Amino acid sequence: MEDIKSEETNVAEQKDEENKICLEKMEEAKLKAKYPHLGNKPGGSDLLRKRLQKGPKYFDSGDYNMAKAKIKNKQLPAAQTEKAEITGDHIPTPQDLPQRKTSLVASKLAG
């Protein structure tokens, strides 16, 4: 008995959805009949197309220079590092740390 009620509700819901779709199509047809010159243009509006042809706009010269540097960096191959980057999850050991450079000037504190 419950199966019959659930099937009836499913059928009723499907009919409601079909009616909504049908009404929507009828409204679209009325709109197209009233305004035939407003057809769907491929590629969006003319205003959008003109803006995209001009290229990106930058907030200031810093943004422009950063974008320009990114283009140059893409052309150059990235240098490979000897060691992988160490994240905060890793506890460093003396072997993991890079060697300290020796100072050329003798310290006055050293004997």
Is residue 65 in some structural domain? yes
User: pLDDT truncated to tens, each residue of the chain (111 aa)?
Assistant: 566 777 778 888 888 888 888 999 999 999 889 988 776 666 677 888 888 888 778 788 888 888 888 887 776 555 555 566 666 777 878 888 888 887 777 767 765
Is 23 contained in some domain?
A: yes
Q: Given this model, what pLDDT does residue 30 score? A: 92
Hey, what are 85's tokens? 């980057």
pTM of structure: 0.28
Whether 39 maps to a domain, the answer reads yes
Asked if residue 110 is part of any domain, the answer here is no
In a domain, 102, yes or no: no
The domain tally of the chain equals 1
Give the domain extent around 32.
2-75
Q: Which of 87, 23, 14 is nearest to 6 (CA)?
A: 14
Using alpha carbons, select from 61, 62, 65 the residue that is nearest to residue 73: 65
Instruction: Name 31's Cβ contacts closer than 8 Å, sequence gap at least 6.
Output: 38
Asked if residue 107 belongs to a domain, the reply is no
Q: What is the model's pLDDT at position 9?
A: 80
Residue 43 has which token pair?
Answer: 């590629």
**Contact (CB, 8 A) for 64 and 58:** yes
b vs e for 79-100, b when ≥16 Cβ sit within 10 Å of the residue's Cβ?
eeeeeeeeeeeeeeeeeeeeee
Distance, CA of 81 to CA of 90 (rounded, Å): 18
Question: Is 36 part of any domain?
Answer: yes
